[in-house]
Structure 1
Amino acid sequence: MFILKQLRRKKNINQTDLAKAIGVSLRTIQLYEKKDANIPIKNLTKIAQYFDVSIAELYSHESVNETEMEYDATEQLGKGHTIAKLAPGKYLISAPLVLTEQYGKFSKLYPKKVFVHTLPRMGFIVDRVSVAQYMAFEISNDSMDDGSLKSIPFKSIVLGKLIPHEKLQGHIQNNPESPSILVYKGNVMCKVIGDYNRRNKTVVCKSLKDSPEYADFEIKIKEIEQLYTILGKQTAQI
């Protein structure tokens, strides 16, 4: 993230000063200042607070690198997200972020573009992009945290790609046991979608954590309001 170097120079501090301020090593700051850095949410928040900017502002200013070369940035008008080509096979998606406390509003107001454009943005580095709707979501509980590599812990933020409703059936069939963000009956939840029943056109929504409070449940595909396949995650862990 080249913007960190620019912010340091403006504040007249060095890498060691910044490392001490947010409680990490000098080597960590050196890694964070690379353009493809994947900074944990916990430390990203500390950095934003230290420089008195928002996380969204950190990513919105990441459009120019240290040699003043502009990235190939394209805003997806009407969709709320932006996509910047950083290098061959490297893209920065800055997507509107839906926090837990905004779940209710999101399910009701999503069709209104004004609402989406008022949301802060979160950045993710991905290898490929397509014409789609991208959103970022904060995870509201620990139902997807079983301690495995597939875990999506509480308070993580994930990048989701919206699957058009007419393609839901094919997507679910071709991506069994795929972790997704599901909007169903006005609720936003993170679940593994699988066990497609061709006859009844239903799927089973599962949690990774084995707990009675997170029991599996079956729903009809036609009742799914929105489904986002998860492309990436950032956790609050160091």
Structure 2
Amino acid sequence: MLHKGNYIKRLMKKLDVKQETITDKSNPLYVGFGRNTLINLLKNEDFYKEDDLSRARAILDAINATKEDYDFIFPTRSNSNARDLGEYIEDDQTTPIKEISPGFYLLTTELVPVHAQAGYLTGYQDQEYIDMLPKYTTTVDKYARGKYRHFETSGDSMDNGSIKDAIPDGTVLLCREIKREHWTSKLHSHKWPNYVFVHRTEGIVVKQIASQNLETGEIILHSLNPDKNKYPDYSVNMDDILEIYNVIKRILE
């Protein structure tokens, strides 16, 4: 049977992805660890440690592996910690949801409007403060578990003019929290590429992730707006982040 380390090695060769490329910090495909770590990882017959699972997933994410590739490396990923965090479903239900017809639900959460975002940085753990926030209801097509919240956006840093992807000023975002215990995994997801970060000094920002270093906790945040003079990529550290949410749905007003 083909070992998983060899499988990834052969896949990289097939896709003409070199080890030097994905371990180079200056390369967009950088996976967050060095070449020696990669070489040792590819020697493994299987991946059991959480760090190895995260690193294997980072490689597959970086090289745009197929579903079949993921299924080979993570045959039971639906029950493991190796799932994309953007597809992580919590077991607890903390957000009110009401079925109004088969496969059609109303989901109600607190809305954090722009004018309340400064106060949210100090009140996000205060249930009395959270209860004072306005409520917002939107429709979803799946029974949603976990903690959800709506955020109102401001500015045009995530507006690239695309009907499909843009998050223009004033957009309301339905977001699902990623619990802190999952932050040690790569925050990569092809299905949910946008994130809301509640940051100690930057405030509440909506960004994509250009790269992430699991060893240092550094994340490079990326704006969709093509004007990089105005909206350059910049670095934050996990230690300065209070909450992380996946953006699940845009509500364009």
TM over 0.5: yes
For structure 1, list consecutive stretches of 5 or more residues without a partner in the other structure.
1-75
- 1:127 is matched by which residue type in structure 2? D
Specify the SS of the correspondent of 1:213: coil
Quote the residue 1:59 is aligned against.
none
Pick the aligned partner of 2:195 from 180, 201, 207.
180
Instruction: Check conservation: 1:176, 1:195, Cα contact below 8 A.
Output: no
Pick the aligned partner of 2:185 from 170, 176, 192.
170
Specify the SS of the correspondent of 1:96: strand
Structure 2: distance between partners of 1:143 and 1:174 = 20
CA shift, 1:116, in A, is 1.1
For structure 2, list consecutive stretches of 5 or more residues without a partner in the other structure.
1-91
Structure 2: distance between partners of 1:129 and 1:222 = 32
Structure 2: distance between partners of 1:108 and 1:231 = 24
Please list every run of at least 4 consecutive aligned residues from structure 1 whose deviation after the TM superposition is greater than 3 angstroms: 173-177
Aligned residues: 159
Pick the aligned partner of 1:161 from 160, 176, 179.
176
Structure 2: distance between partners of 1:185 and 1:133 = 21
Query: Counterparts in 2 of 1:201-212, with a 5 A limit?
Result: 201-211=217-227, 212=229
Quote the residue 1:87 is aligned against.
101
Query: Counterparts in 2 of 1:85-234, with a 5 A limit?
Result: 85-148=99-162, 149-170=164-185, 172-174=187-189, 178-186=193-201, 187-211=203-227, 212-234=229-251
Quote the residue 2:38 is aligned against.
none
Instruction: Check conservation: 1:169, 1:221, Cα contact below 8 A.
Output: no
Structure 2: distance between partners of 1:104 and 1:140 = 13
Structure 2: distance between partners of 1:196 and 1:177 = 16
Which is richer in strand? Answer: 1
Structure 1: distance between partners of 2:140 and 2:219 = 28
Instruction: Check conservation: 2:185, 2:214, Cα contact below 8 A.
Output: no
CA shift, 1:170, in A, is 2.5
